[in-house]
Amino acid sequence: MTKLLQASMDGVAVGSLYALIALGYTMVYGILKFINFAHSDVFMLGAWFSFAICGFLGYTTADHPVYAALVALIGSMAMCGALGFTIERLAYRPLRGAPRINVLITAIGVSLLLENVGQLNSNKFLAEYGIKFPFGTRPTSVPLLLPDQPLLSFALDSAHPNTLVNVLPVDVLVIGVAFTLMALLQYLVFGTSLGRAMRAVSYDAKTASLMGIDVDRVVSITFVIGSALAAAAGFLYGQKLQSLRQSADGLWVLLGLKAFVAAVVGGVGNVRGAMAGGLMIGLVEQFGAAYLSTNLRDLYVFSLLIVVLLFKPEGLLGKAVVEKV
Amino acid sequence: MSLASYGKPASPAVVAVDALGPFAGVAVLVLLMHFVIGPAVGPYYAKILVDIAISIVLAVSLNVVNGFTGQFSIGHAAFMAVGGYTAAAITYFGTVKIWGGLPLVHADPQGWGLFVVGTVAGALVAGLFGLFVGLPSLRLRGDYLALVTLGFGEIVRVLLMQTGSIPDPKVIAEAPLYTLPLKLGGSLGFGGVPTYTNLFWAWLWAGLTLVIVYRLKASTHGRAFLSVREDEIAAEAMGIPTTSVKVRAFVLSAALAGIAGALFAHELGTTLNPKELGFQKSFEVVIMVVLGGMGSLSGAVLAAAVLTVLPEVLREFSEYRMIVYALILILVMLVRPQGLFGIHEVWELPVVRRLLGGRGPK
């Protein structure tokens, strides 16, 4: 029972991170119909930006003002929003209307670029010119911005009073921030005129532009929002793991990929689907890790993807679209 | 190109030359490589030539999916890993089972039969995996394949990492066969694989791959592949079973990647390692195909050769290699989206045809 509760709590925490990243994928896919491979690297940079902000403001130890977490969160969201805007402007907008495969390759190019720039921190040539990146291949510990005593700690099973269920402030932060942002996005997409414009462009960009919607502007805003959400996920990820590393084995790409799996499972292009899919992927991963084997957690996620693609390719909440000729 | 295709009924001799000529060409190339060029350039350059041959097999095989059918696979290294591990398991465990003792680290003619068996088995198993991956994802739109192949690559990598360490020869000799595929060296890699790959085998398979894929491009099947790429709906309307065509292209591509993996596994100075065959490797192959031109075989060959030699030449700048690749990828897509040669072969380009005196093929 303890294991069950712990696994579900971890699952919800990890799942809400996936959901935040998945939202960026699904919004871009809904409007431009391509997988933005660079999104996982925006997520990575979000984590590093928040880390750099902490370093810049001198938040190194565990005791700091309550608003510190908020500063780091909003700062990195703003920086990644700007980054997402730039990427869309320079790399994707010139290819508007090009075959989808070209955009996909470009996205992979952007992803490779961001990822490998991150490996340069020990670069001698750049260091001579005083250029130092805040990120790199070496594991870096992230300052925890919240106290690390559990908020709640209780034993469920009276036979084992020492196996406790711990509710850490970090988990509350992760789940709280993620759900707040998702609620805001939900309001934005379904309750404002900007959201209506986004849904219109996603439904039919050409007709939307005839109705006076500035498609390019909507696309830009989508990228900014998606990247900001990824940055939030990056910040929360850093807080949860307390260690960041820019490894060459593509850890970040893998995380991003799982988030895209979440988007596909939920129904790609569907905002609510991305949230549900993210939570589902998180739960599958954590339950698999708790009850089967921790080493195979990637396997469960991708197996779930293949099963969903086989039986319900439009995703759990997606609508099957008949392709028009 | 074909001599037999200009109106008049062809004499049997012409047909025979047409059918067998390319194979004779491959034989000449392989013998030249093995007996003349190899000894002349020394072991260092010979290894680079072997690397080039392996890259050619990879790039040309990926071109069948990414270039001909216009689908997008980015898990090519996974098929390479499947083929490589299958072949390595057959030669390594086979040697111990048949001849006893540790497999010799250096090539010896005794094991060549086993190597060929291993390579073919690697191709078959990789092809089977291709079928398994391709069937669910190729029913859907192109970019799902990208996602599933990338995910599949990760699954293969994770599973290979979980395998146990390679047992002692004595243990292998007594162990039942079905237990051995679970002991492939794990994250340390499959060490001690006999080094059979030399210029002969590498260029033999590279040559065969080129002949197979080049002929495919000009055949009915190849035209079906290209029609899917040009317009899937129109192809479907003309009676081409698009899903089946895509799956066939994908299986062929995976099988050829398996051959490349087998060659890589038995190469001197490389370790068969799950980390080596991650998606970085897949991306490298994608870059070769995109750079050479999607659908152009000579383009893929050229790009494979250049991108294999370049890191050797620019060893000092190895840190920037992937950054430069990424920039090239983006720039090519922005400036010349069809790749350097597009779908054309080098000798079909106007510049080259003029140089050849305007006698180039139509």
Task: Tell me the two tokens of residue A155.
Answer: 């034993």
User: What pLDDT was estimated at residue A231?
Assistant: 92
User: What pLDDT was estimated at residue A125?
Assistant: 58
User: What pLDDT was estimated at residue A156?
Assistant: 65
Asked if A294 has any chain B CB less than 8 Å from its own CB, the reply is no
Interface test with chain B among A116, A264, A285, by most B beta carbons within 10 Å: A116
> Quick one: pLDDT band at residue B106, thresholds 50, 70, 90?
low
B9 three-state secondary structure: coil
B7 three-state secondary structure: coil
- Cβ burial, residue A23 (10 Å; 0-12/13-18/19+): buried
**Closest chain B residue by Cα to residue A309:** B136
User: What pLDDT was estimated at residue A53?
Assistant: 83
On whether the CB atoms of residues B123 and B84 are closer than 8 A, the answer is no
- Chain B residues touching A100 at Cβ < 8 A: 142-143
User: What pLDDT was estimated at residue B104?
Assistant: 63
Question: Which DSSP string do the residues of B270-305 spell out, in sequence order?
Answer: --B-TTTTSHHHHHHHHHHHHHH-TT-HHHHHHHHH
- A309: in domain: no
Closest-CA distance of chain B to residue A117, Å = 7
CB atoms within 10 A of CB A57: 14
Closest-CA distance of chain A to residue B146, Å = 9
**What is the rounded CA–CA span in Å between residue B199 and residue B107?**
12
Q: Quote the percentage of chain B above a pLDDT of 70.
A: 92
Average model confidence (pLDDT) across chain B: 83
ipTM of the complex: 0.77
Give the β-pairing of A152-155 and A140-141. Answer: unpaired
- A260: in domain: no
Write out pLDDT tens, residues A12-70.
888 999 999 998 888 888 888 888 888 988 998 888 888 888 877 777 666 666 677 88
Q: What is the mean pLDDT of residues A239-252?
A: 70
* C-alpha Rg value of chain B to the nearest Å: 21
CA atoms within a 13 Å half-sphere pointing along the CA-CB vector of B221: 13
Q: Which of A75-89, A139-153, A283-297, B317-331 has the highest mean pLDDT?
A: A75-89
For residue B326, pLDDT beyond 80: yes
User: What pLDDT was estimated at residue A123?
Assistant: 55
User: What pLDDT was estimated at residue B53?
Assistant: 94
**Closest chain A residue by Cα to residue B152:** A302
List C-alpha distances in Å: A192 to A185, A199, A216, A229, B176.
10, 11, 18, 18, 67
Closest-CA distance of chain A to residue B273, Å = 13
- Chain A residues touching B337 at Cβ < 8 A: 95, 98-99, 102
User: What pLDDT was estimated at residue A34?
Assistant: 81
Alpha helices by DSSP H, chain B: 12-31, 38-62, 76-99, 112-138, 142-162, 169-174, 199-218, 220-230, 232-237, 242-265, 279-292, 297-313, 321-335, 350-355
Asked if A116 has any chain B CB less than 8 Å from its own CB, the reply is yes
Nearest residue to A110 (alpha-carbon basis) of A223, A245, A273: A223
Q: Quote the percentage of chain B above a pLDDT of 90.
A: 23
Q: What is the mean pLDDT of residues B254-273?
A: 89
> Quick one: pLDDT band at residue B362, thresholds 50, 70, 90?
very low
**Inter-chain touch B155–A299, beta carbons under 8 Å:** yes
Domain that holds residue A193: 2-249
- A145: in domain: yes
Sign of the CA dihedral A108, A114, A120, A125?
positive
User: What pLDDT was estimated at residue A79?
Assistant: 92
- A284: in domain: no
For residue B41, pLDDT beyond 80: yes
Closest-CA distance of chain B to residue A48, Å = 19
- A79: in domain: yes
Asked if A95 has any chain B CB less than 8 Å from its own CB, the reply is yes
Task: Tell me the two tokens of residue B276.
Answer: 């080596």
Angle, helices A100-117/A39-57, rounded to nearest 10 degrees? 30
**Inter-chain touch B143–A104, beta carbons under 8 Å:** yes
**What is the rounded CA–CA span in Å between residue B362 and residue B360?**
7
> Quick one: pLDDT band at residue B80, thresholds 50, 70, 90?
very high
CA angle B317, B321, B325 (to 5 degrees): 150
**What is the rounded CA–CA span in Å between residue A198 and residue A194?**
6
Closest-CA distance of chain B to residue A220, Å = 19
Write out pLDDT tens, residues A271-299.
888 889 999 999 998 888 888 877 777 78
Write out pLDDT tens, residues A66-76.
677 888 889 99
Q: Which of A160-164, B85-89, B154-158 has the highest mean pLDDT?
A: B85-89
- Chain B residues touching A105 at Cβ < 8 A: 72, 286, 290, 329, 333
Interface test with chain B among A25, A40, A105, A307, by most B beta carbons within 10 Å: A105
Asked if A52 has any chain B CB less than 8 Å from its own CB, the reply is no
Count up the domains in chain A and report the number.
1
Q: Torsions phi, psi of A162, nearest 5? A: -90, -20
Residues of B with CB under 8 A from a CB of A: 66, 70, 72, 74, 136-137, 139-140, 142-144, 146-148, 150-152, 154-155, 158-159, 161-162, 233, 237, 275, 278-280, 283, 286, 290, 319, 322-323, 325-327, 329-330, 333-334, 337
Q: Which of residues 251-280 of A touch B (CB under 8 A)?
A: 253-254, 257, 260-261, 264
Write out pLDDT tens, residues B53-64.
999 999 999 999
On whether the CB atoms of residues A236 and A69 are closer than 8 A, the answer is no
| Three-class SS of B148-204 | HHHHHHHHHHHHHHHCCCCCCHHHHHHCCHHHHHHCCCHHHCECCCCECCCHHHHHH
User: What pLDDT was estimated at residue A131?
Assistant: 55
- A107: in domain: yes
CA angle A76, A269, A209 (to 5 degrees): 90
Q: What is the mean pLDDT of residues B126-135?
A: 91
Asked if A127 has any chain B CB less than 8 Å from its own CB, the reply is no
Of the candidates B142, B154, B286, which has its C-beta nearest A254's C-beta?
B154
Write out pLDDT tens, residues B144-155.
788 788 888 888
For residue A251, pLDDT beyond 70: yes
**Inter-chain touch B323–A109, beta carbons under 8 Å:** no
Lowest model confidence (mean pLDDT) among A227-231, B136-140, B192-196, B202-206: B136-140
- A234: in domain: yes
User: What pLDDT was estimated at residue A173?
Assistant: 83
**What is the rounded CA–CA span in Å between residue B254 and residue B260?**
10
Q: Quote the percentage of chain A above a pLDDT of 90.
A: 16
**CB within 8 A of B181, min separation 6: which ones?**
B89, B163
**Inter-chain touch B148–A35, beta carbons under 8 Å:** no
**Inter-chain touch A119–B319, beta carbons under 8 Å:** yes
- A47: in domain: yes
**What is the rounded CA–CA span in Å between residue A112 and residue A105?**
10
Count A/B contacts: CB-CB distance under 8 Å. 116
Residue with more model confidence, A250 or B185: B185
**What is the rounded CA–CA span in Å between residue B278 and residue B85?**
14
Nearest residue to A27 (alpha-carbon basis) of A202, A177, A256: A202
- Chain A residues touching B138 at Cβ < 8 A: none
**Which residues are bridge partners to A165 per DSSP?**
A154
**What is the rounded CA–CA span in Å between residue A67 and residue B229?**
54
Terminal C-alpha separation, chain A: 54
On whether the CB atoms of residues B265 and B54 are closer than 8 A, the answer is no
**Closest chain A residue by Cα to residue B69:** A101
User: What pLDDT was estimated at residue B258?
Assistant: 95
Write out pLDDT tens, residues A180-201.
988 898 899 888 999 999 889 9
Residue with more model confidence, B222 or B361: B222
| Three-class SS of chain A | CHHHHHHHHHHHHHHHHHHHHHHHHHHHHHHHCCCCCCHHHHHHHHHHHHHHHHHHHCCCCCCCCCCHHHHHHHHHHHHHHHHHHHHHHHHHHHHCCCCHHHHHHHHHHHHHHHHHHCCCCCCHHHHHCCCCCCCCCCCEECCCCCCCCCCEEEECCCCCCCCEEEECHHHHHHHHHHHHHHHHHHHHHHHCHHHHHHHHHHHCHHHHHHCCCCHHHHHHHHHHHHHHHHHHHHHHHHHHHCEECCCCCCHHHHHHHHHHHHHHHHCCCCHHHHHHHHHHHHHHHHHHHHHCCHHHHHHHHHHHHHHHHHHCCCCCCCCCCCCCC
> Quick one: pLDDT band at residue A126, thresholds 50, 70, 90?
low
Residue with more model confidence, A135 or B15: B15
> Quick one: pLDDT band at residue B1, thresholds 50, 70, 90?
very low
For residue A240, pLDDT beyond 90: no
For residue B6, pLDDT beyond 90: no
CA angle B203, B206, B210 (to 5 degrees): 135
On whether the CB atoms of residues A175 and A169 are closer than 8 A, the answer is no
